[in-house]
DNA sequence: TATTGTTATACTCTATAACTATA
DNA sequence: TATAGTTATAGAGTATAACAATA
């Protein structure tokens, strides 16, 4: 991704007891960019930890979810929806197609475009992975009760300008 | 990073009017992992956009901030604080040292370790970049008023278990 | 001409493993 | 033996540019 650089990355999975090392001063620890980066990092690592037995990345999983609710997306639509370059989507779809989870074929209505759909195997894989992904989300959100989760949802939605 | 995969990446800088494409169903748009990933992605892209004139990444900037408040960190401490592998820190420090912004020397108390400090040039660079970084943060947080920012801070801090 | 997708290429980030120098 | 740091290597992710097919 263009901006893989980010504000600060502090989380260390190997030493959870040092998740908040004492030498990070409040001036950094309370900065929202730092908190956001840390939360994202934690989410990433927990997703990987919970889905280690499956041949899937979080991005793959996200695309399967997208295709579940939007069968027949063009690759260019996937690029728009996921904020990725067209070329990156080519590789992403390639990778899922190699596992037999998605299929692509030219759109009869516009043969420039390729329509991507989930296969039966893809649906099976999605169902087998869903519990692990849900467990990862549960662990990320464990410190928040339902009210707090709603507040966080609302704030992030506002932050994104929705 | 291990988990560069993430839940979903939707944000498209090139087409801000499509920041929330209509085909993302509520079931995905309201998922906290999606919102967190989107917010992080937005933060990353705005940081890069605002600091394009400077030879710096968000991670570089984060390390300079760390060194500002913690002069004389060991590289192994930086690795812990930022959740990075030792080898990655070697390259990170190399890169800043090449720009003349940090120096490293063996710790007299334990000559295995290298102490990293910011140079005068590094402080100058930090001060010249700080306004651009602040502008990036301002733009990310623009949709939230001060109360909402405090709420978000509190929620993310709880999420991280602090 | 513009758009969709592909390929070639390169660069960044990061991990593993093997190494050195110190403790 | 254990730890701090370095180097070599490899893999993933992603960008740019050039290209083919289609509109």
pLDDT in tens, B23-59: 566 767 777 888 888 888 888 888 988 998 898 998 8
Residue A1 lies in a domain: no
Task: List the domain range (segments joined by +) for residue A135.
Answer: 37-140
Phi/psi for B120 (5° steps) reads: -60, -40
> Is A4 domain-assigned?
no
In a domain, B8, yes or no: no
pTM: 0.82
Q: Which residue of B has its CA nearest to A50?
A: B3
Q: How many domains, in total, are found in chain B?
A: 1
Instruction: Identify whether the C-beta of residue A16 lies closer than 8 Å to the C-beta of residue B136.
Output: no
pLDDT tens column, A18-50: 333 445 667 677 778 888 888 888 888 889 889
Residue B123 placed within a domain: yes
pLDDT, greater one: B137 or B19: B137
Residue B81 lies in a domain: yes
* Residue A111: CATH number of its domain: 1.10.10.10
B105 touches strand D (CB under 7 A): no
In whole angstroms, how far apart are CA A121 and each of A128, A159, B7? 11, 37, 21
Separation between Cα atoms, residue A40 and residue B37, nearest integer Å? 6
Q: Is A30 a member of any domain?
A: no
| Protein CA B3 to sugar C1' C19 (Å) | 28
* CA A150 to C1' C11, whole Å: 40
Per-residue pLDDT averaged across B127-135, rounded?
94
Distance CA B97, CA B111 (A): 19
Is there a contact between A58 and B29 if contact means CB atoms under 8 Å apart? no
pLDDT band at B111 (very low <50, low <70, confident <90, very high): very high
- DSSP-derived letter for residue A24 is S
Contacting B residues, span 101-140, partner chain A, CB-CB under 8 Å: 137, 140
In a domain, B6, yes or no: no
CA A83 – CA A89 distance, rounded (Å): 10
């Amino acid at each position: 991704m263009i901006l893989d650089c980010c504000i600060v990355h502090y989380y260390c999975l190997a030493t959870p007891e040092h998740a908040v090392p004492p030498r990070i001063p409040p001036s950094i620890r309370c900065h929202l960019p730092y908190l956001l980066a840390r939360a994202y990092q934690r989410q990433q690592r927990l997703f990987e930890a919970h889905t280690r037995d499956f041949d899937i990345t979080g991005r793959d999983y996200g695309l399967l979810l997208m295709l579940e609710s939007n069968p027949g997306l063009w690759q260019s639509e996937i690029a728009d929806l996921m904020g990725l370059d067209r070329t990156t989507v080519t590789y992403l779809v390639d990778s899922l197609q190699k596992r037999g989870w998605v299929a692509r074929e030219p759109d009869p209505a516009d043969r420039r475009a390729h329509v991507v759909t989930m296969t039966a195997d893809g649906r099976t894989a999605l169902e087998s992975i869903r519990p692990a992904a849900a467990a990862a989300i549960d662990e990320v959100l464990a410190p928040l009760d339902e009210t707090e989760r709603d507040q966080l949802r609302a704030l992030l939605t506002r932050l994104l300008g929705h």
